[in-house]
Amino acid sequence: MNYREVGNTGVRVSDIGFGCGGNAGLMVKGTPEQQREAIQKALELGINYFDEAPDYGDGVSETNLGRVLKELGARPYITTKVEVRADNLGDIAGHIVHSVDQSLERLGVEYVDFLQLHNGPVMEPPELSGRSYTHLWVEDYLRPGGALEGMQRVQRSGKARFIGFITRGNDEPAVLQLIDTGAFSLINASVNLLNPSAAIKPYGMKVDYDWGGILAYAAAHGVGVGIYSPLAGGFLNENAVSGGTPHPIAGGRRSPSAMETGQRQAKAVSFLSRKLNPGTQKDEHLLAEAAMRFVLFLEGVTTVLGGFSDGDQVAEIAACSGQGPLSEENMARLEMVWRANFGS
C-alpha cells in the first residue's frame, strides 16, 4: 500500500481509502460478520483511512464502524461530515458542534482527524427543503455563525484535527473561494473515466457536472483531495457493462435514462478490460482496476475512496495501489473517446 500526505497537514493516508457510504451497502446493510471481515482485511492490507458521514444510513454506518474498530482495537484515520439542512440555517455553527458530538459518540472516539461539510459550496443561495443538503451558499460557509465558524469551534475543542468540505460539480468559483481562505485542508471531489473534469476536460467533451480542473488548484494551495465515485457509481465494472445484476446489498436507484447513459459510456471505455476483450490488451487489468489506476495517477489526488460490498472487493481495489498508471496508448484512446463524447 502506498501513502500520501494530505495537503500540508503532515498526515499520511493510504492512497486507497475505505468509503463507508450507503450505496455499496456494506456498512449499512451488511451483517456484523461481513463488516468485521472487510474492515479487518482493509487494515491488514494497509488501508488506514476511513470516510464516514452521519447521512450514511442515518448514523448506522458510523455506529457499525465504531463497533468494529473497537472489537479490533484499531484507530485508523477517520473523516466524518456534517449535513446542513433548511432547519439548521438559523444556527449553522451550533448545529455543526452538536452533529459532531453525535458522530463521535457513534464512532466511539474522542476526535476525528478530518471534519468536512457535506454540502457543496455554490455562489447563489440554493433551494433547501426538508432533508435536502446537497449544496450550501458560500456566504453561509463564511458569515458569522456559519459553517466555517462552526467547524473551527470543533477544531479548537480538539474534536477535529483538520477541516474541509465536499464538492459536487458546477461549483468551481465557490470551491476556489473557500480554498483561498487557507482554512481547509481536505476537499472531496468525484473523478472517474466517465467524468474526469476535476483533472482534465478534453475539447468537445460534455459533462452534466463540471468540476473545472479543481485538483491542480487544490494541490497548488496545499489542500488534499479525496476522490469519491471512482467507479462512477458502479458502472465501471464488467458486470455492469454486461447488464448483470448488482451485488445483493448494493444500493442506489437510478432513472432509466441515467442507467442507459451510464452503461453506454462505460461500454465506450470497456476496451480497457481484458475480460471483455481477451487477447487485445497489453495491460492485463479489469475495468475497475483500470479505472482506479487512472484516478490514482492524476495530479493532486491524495486518496481514492473505494465503496465496498464485501471483503473480496476490498482486496481487489486495495491491489490497485502501486500498480502504475495506464499506458500512453490507452490514455490516447481514452482521449479520443472523451472528445467524441463516448460516441453519442
pLDDT tens-digit readout, 160-207: 999 999 999 999 999 999 999 999 999 999 999 999 999 998 888 999
Is the CB of residue 18 less than 8 Å from the CB of residue 51? yes
pLDDT at 255: 78
pLDDT (tens digit, 9 = 90+) per residue, 106-136?
999 999 999 999 999 999 999 888 888 999 9
Please, which pLDDT band fits residue 249 given cuts at 50, 70 and 90? low
Write out the catalytic residue numbers: 56
| For the chain, percent of residues with pLDDT exceeding 70 | 94
Q: Has residue 344 been placed in a domain?
A: no
Q: Has residue 267 been placed in a domain?
A: no
Would you say residue 282 has pLDDT above 60?
no
User: What is the C-alpha separation between 333 and 163, in angstroms, rounded?
Assistant: 38
24-28, 64-68, 289-293: range with lowest mean pLDDT: 24-28
- Domains in the chain, number: 1
User: What is the C-alpha separation between 188 and 229, in angstroms, rounded?
Assistant: 10
User: What is the C-alpha separation between 295 and 303, in angstroms, rounded?
Assistant: 9
Q: Has residue 112 been placed in a domain?
A: yes
User: What is the C-alpha separation between 226 and 114, in angstroms, rounded?
Assistant: 11
Q: What is the mean pLDDT of the chain?
A: 93
Q: Has residue 330 been placed in a domain?
A: no
pLDDT at 253: 60
Would you say residue 279 has pLDDT above 90?
no
Higher pLDDT, 259 or 291: 291
Structural domain containing residue 233 = 3-262+286-325
Q: Has residue 247 been placed in a domain?
A: yes
List the grid coordinates of 329: 496508448
CA-to-CA separations, 65 to 8, 97, 140, 290, in angstroms, rounded: 27, 21, 31, 29
pLDDT at 140: 98
Q: Has residue 280 been placed in a domain?
A: no
Q: Residues with Cβ < 8 Å from 80, sequence gap 6 or more? A: 52, 53, 54, 62, 100, 103, 107, 112, 114, 115, 116
CATH number, residue 20: 3.20.20.100
Q: Has residue 331 been placed in a domain?
A: no
Q: Residues with Cβ < 8 Å from 63, sequence gap 6 or more? A: 106, 107
Would you say residue 228 has pLDDT above 90?
yes
Q: Has residue 65 been placed in a domain?
A: yes
- Partner residues linked to 260 by β-bridges: none
Mean pLDDT score, 277-300 = 81
pLDDT at 341: 93
